[in-house]
Structure 1
Amino acid sequence: MIMDHGLVIVPAGAGAGKTHRIKTQLSDWIKRGVVRPERILAVTFTEAAAGELRERIRSGLLADGLVSEAMAVERAYVSTIHGLGLRLLTEHALAAGASPQPRHLGDAERDLLVRQALAHAKSLDPIKAEPERFGYEANWQKGETVEDSLRSRVLSMIDLLRGLGDKGRDRGLLAPALSRLDTIYGTVLSDPTAARNALEAAIQTMVATFPAGGMAQITAKTNVEKLEKDLALFKRVHRAPDVLNRDWKLWNDLRSLFVSNRSSKTPEGYDDLATAIMAAADVLPVHPGPLADAKLHLSCLVSCAQEVMEAYESRKKALGLIDFADMITGAERLLRTDPAVRQAVLDEIDCVIIDEFQDTNPVQFALLWQIGAYATRTLLVGDVKQSIMGFRAPTRACRRLWRRRTQIQPSRSIATGDRRRL
């Protein structure tokens, strides 16, 4: 368990006593009169978990003989994080610039609006022109076309960026991502043209020397098939050498060719030519071409996602609609930009409990932190082993942000004996 003034963090895995910790902490606060049951704000991530959390709180108080307090828990606000966001936007609709009675957008309607915006997006045109170049293929087993595959990737990028809140629409988001690609890729060839010409020359020599491939002396069917595939690669380059300017999968295939083994011998001289081709193609990991394509691909995806998001947001606002992501991003923006609203929320609660904290994405974390960091008492519970986003990083962030806040407002950090005890 980690304690920092009014912040209590419980990394609670299976068998670690998470339920017991919540019950005992709340009972202690309530017995000492620093928390009133009806002024508890508790948040989790599913309706079932919210109901279970309320029952945990109630049963803990009943076990300690606090019957009236247990009954008062019914008036506490225990909900999912989306329920919390919707409540904030509804109760403070004027400050949020939103409808006091927004209509929730169903999944089918959401997909329709997004697909309409995507159909008019121009940022994706370079990928649409050559989708296979960027790794998009049809999956006939799933009944997916190349267009379906590309659309799915864009929708995933949109979900990812919306998970960043307002930052997801920041045009400056792309530059550090591209810089990160450069760093990961590392040093590149100084003369990629020479590398490309060397590979073409090695292949042309192979085709001129062995126009039918190296299969003449091979009897094993499996090895014949391998040599046939290699020959197809050679002929593809022979017919259209420009393919080496953009087909990095072809380069990669040329890095691994069949050569003689103990059971199968190719014609004399074949292995030397094949080895020369593989050596020429083996510069691929430092060739700047794949990096350039990767950066173009990322640029198109991010720009397209942001373009679609802008059109989607405008359309929703015009129609008075709201989706699940809006409940989080809108509420986070409201609390971050309007301290009066945030204070009004804090004035109604004595403590904040956030269960399954490891499940927060960045914008969910930001929303909860707008309340948790300023509340008099905050209890965070999460399980490292069940984390998708990584509970340890938010935990460190919590402690770091909490210290920063208490340095700015020291009177709040040590104002009561209860806070000193924590």
Structure 2
Amino acid sequence: MTELSIVPAGAGAGKTHHIQETLTQWVRDGKVRPEKILAVTFTEAAAGELRQRIRGALIADSNLAAALAVERAYVSTIHGLGRRLLIEHAFASGSSPQQRLIAEDEQDLLIRRSIEENPALSELSRNLAALGYQGSFSSDETAEDSFRKKLLGVIALLRTLGPRGSDPAMANFVETSIRTGYGAPIGKPETLAAALKKAVDSLLQAFPRSLADEAVSAAAKTAFRENFRALKQAQQLLASSGKDWRLWQKLRGLRLSMRGSPTPDGYDDLATAVMLAADNLVSHPGPLEDAVSHARALVEGAQSAMTDYETRKRELGVIDFSDMVTNAAQILDEKPAVLGAIMEEVDCVIVDEFQDTNPIQFTFLWALARKAKRALIVGDTKQAIMGFQGADPRLTVALTQQFETSPLDRNWRSDPRIMDFVNALGPCLFGEDYTALAAQNASGHDTALEVIELASKRGARSGGKPQHFIADRLLS
């Protein structure tokens, strides 16, 4: 039975100190041998600091032998741990201990080749404009570049799910999620299009020229010019039964009469009729079906490219950065003997920043933690910052809901006045999940909190950007 301790630790609560003290006490009590510590962090710097702290605490105890033994412990990043396990248990898992780790540019080349040689994706890429992909004049990015970036993002996200990312049912799951979020469509496409066409035709028949020439302000001139262009495009498109949801969206926000820029009699009523007809876009069946079709093509295409990519890696005898965790997690799941052998070499499992795990990382670490004699898991969902890499703090939330927790309740970093503010705001943001932190420092003499009110007009000196205002204030 695992002696499990889950410790939510807010910013400045002393989580690293808590890990150090807990490990040191376990060593003192003879519960843990220092060479059999397995500790995981998410950066090399954090891993090095943790190792140094443990070693320093043992030296302070005059336990030099234990301090030296820490060097043989598993204290590393999650990817470093995965790589070590793949090498140490390569033969048991039927793989080579000398698999080469490919560089990012090699990985990118292999994935891009898998994409380019995929028939389904090639077909999809022939109609990028209809799917909303556009080029950018400012960055020289083409529609193809935008599509490839989106596809690479889908592949990266699916890979964080481990084996589930390749499940054929994933496309069905994505479709269900889209339909649930969209809600039930209302009306028939042809009826909604006819209503919009009638409203647009009526407006252009009454006002066949742009109101830009009659507008007073520059903003009004620009708005009326863009509105007229969108109306003419929509008239032509609707006459040929075409569809452009971006254009429909533009028609939902036409400019009406405003102080200083009045419109001719009757214009506002006709423009309002166009906007009301265009507002049906939010429940139009067409965008939903296009979104579902696009999402399914992306997921299925990404899965196909992933399969080809994995084949290419096997043929070359290489692994990439993500494989360090994915393959290690697969070994632990499929080879109970390997997991058992690892647990014989480990007295405890420590995981820091647990809130930043993605699904496959969670699976890997939890497989180890739940089998260890004792485990210490530290994290804080309010500090989750790795969502862009597929991290899902809901995994940690589910863990804290299932098991008893021991939150740290003191803050060793901030001024008490700041903590008073944070503790008052915390329950408003996080409800009962917020743990108040008692400040341990004395109040300083400088201003603890300051409100910076940004200028409402763009100044020549600041460029009107918030970061410039803040920088000016900090440097003044």
2:399 match:
397
Alignment root-mean-square deviation, CA: 2.3
1:124 match:
121
Deviation of 1:268 after TM superposition, in Å, equals 2.7
Question: What is the number of residues matched between the two proteins?
Answer: 400
1:26 match:
23
Segments of 5+ residues of structure 2 without an aligned counterpart are: 386-390, 406-476
Q: Which moved more, 1:200-209 or 1:247-256?
A: 200-209
One-letter amino acid of the counterpart of residue 305, structure 2: V
Seen in structure 2, the aligned counterparts of structure 1 residues 45 and 332 have a Cα distance that, compared at 3 Å, is same
Percent identity of paired positions between Structure 1 and Structure 2: 46
8 A contact 1:34–1:350 mirrored in 2:
yes
Q: How far apart in 2 are the matches of 1:80 and 1:344?
A: 21
Q: Does 2:37 match 1:40?
A: yes
1:294 to 283, 291, 294: 291
8 A contact 1:41–1:78 mirrored in 2:
yes
1:50 to 29, 47, 55: 47
Q: How far apart in 2 are the matches of 1:158 and 1:294?
A: 18
2:105 match:
108
Matches within 5 A, 1:149-168: 149-168=146-165
Q: Does 2:277 match 1:275?
A: no
Segments of 5+ residues of structure 1 without an aligned counterpart are: 404-422
Q: Does 2:180 match 1:183?
A: yes
1:133 to 115, 130, 135: 130
Q: How far apart in 1 are the matches of 2:383 and 2:62?
A: 34
1:222 to 214, 219, 223: 219
Deviation of 1:245 after TM superposition, in Å, equals 4.3
Q: How far apart in 2 are the matches of 1:399 and 1:228?
A: 56
8 A contact 1:127–1:134 mirrored in 2:
no
Q: Does 2:83 match 1:81?
A: no
For residues 314-358 of structure 1, the C-alpha deviation after alignment (integer angstroms, 9 at most, x for no partner) is 000011011111111111011011111100100111111112222
Q: Which moved more, 1:385-394 or 1:92-101?
A: 385-394
Seen in structure 2, the aligned counterparts of structure 1 residues 380 and 217 have a Cα distance that, compared at 3 Å, is closer
Q: Does 2:299 match 1:326?
A: no
2:143 match:
146
Seen in structure 2, the aligned counterparts of structure 1 residues 230 and 141 have a Cα distance that, compared at 3 Å, is closer
Seen in structure 2, the aligned counterparts of structure 1 residues 16 and 214 have a Cα distance that, compared at 3 Å, is closer
One-letter amino acid of the counterpart of residue 325, structure 1: S
8 A contact 2:133–2:143 mirrored in 1:
yes
Q: Does 2:232 match 1:196?
A: no
Deviation of 1:189 after TM superposition, in Å, equals 1.0
Deviation of 1:129 after TM superposition, in Å, equals 3.1
Q: How far apart in 2 are the matches of 1:225 and 1:42?
A: 60
Normalization by structure 1: what TM-score?
Answer: 0.88
8 A contact 1:104–1:321 mirrored in 2:
yes
- Secondary structure (helix, strand or coil) at the match of 1:123 reads helix
Q: How far apart in 2 are the matches of 1:58 and 1:25?
A: 13
1:411 match:
none
One-letter amino acid of the counterpart of residue 126, structure 2: A
Q: Which moved more, 1:309-318 or 1:246-255?
A: 246-255
Seen in structure 2, the aligned counterparts of structure 1 residues 81 and 274 have a Cα distance that, compared at 3 Å, is same
2:347 match:
350
One-letter amino acid of the counterpart of residue 345, structure 1: I
Normalization by structure 2: what TM-score?
Answer: 0.79
Deviation of 1:224 after TM superposition, in Å, equals 3.1
Matches within 5 A, 1:89-100: 89-100=86-97
Q: How far apart in 2 are the matches of 1:14 and 1:65?
A: 32
Seen in structure 2, the aligned counterparts of structure 1 residues 76 and 217 have a Cα distance that, compared at 3 Å, is closer
Seen in structure 2, the aligned counterparts of structure 1 residues 16 and 392 have a Cα distance that, compared at 3 Å, is farther
Deviation of 1:402 after TM superposition, in Å, equals 10
Deviation of 1:243 after TM superposition, in Å, equals 6.8
Deviation of 1:46 after TM superposition, in Å, equals 2.1
2:463 match:
none
Q: Which moved more, 1:89-98 or 1:314-323?
A: 89-98
- Secondary structure (helix, strand or coil) at the match of 1:240 reads helix
Q: How far apart in 2 are the matches of 1:38 and 1:263?
A: 78
2:68 match:
71
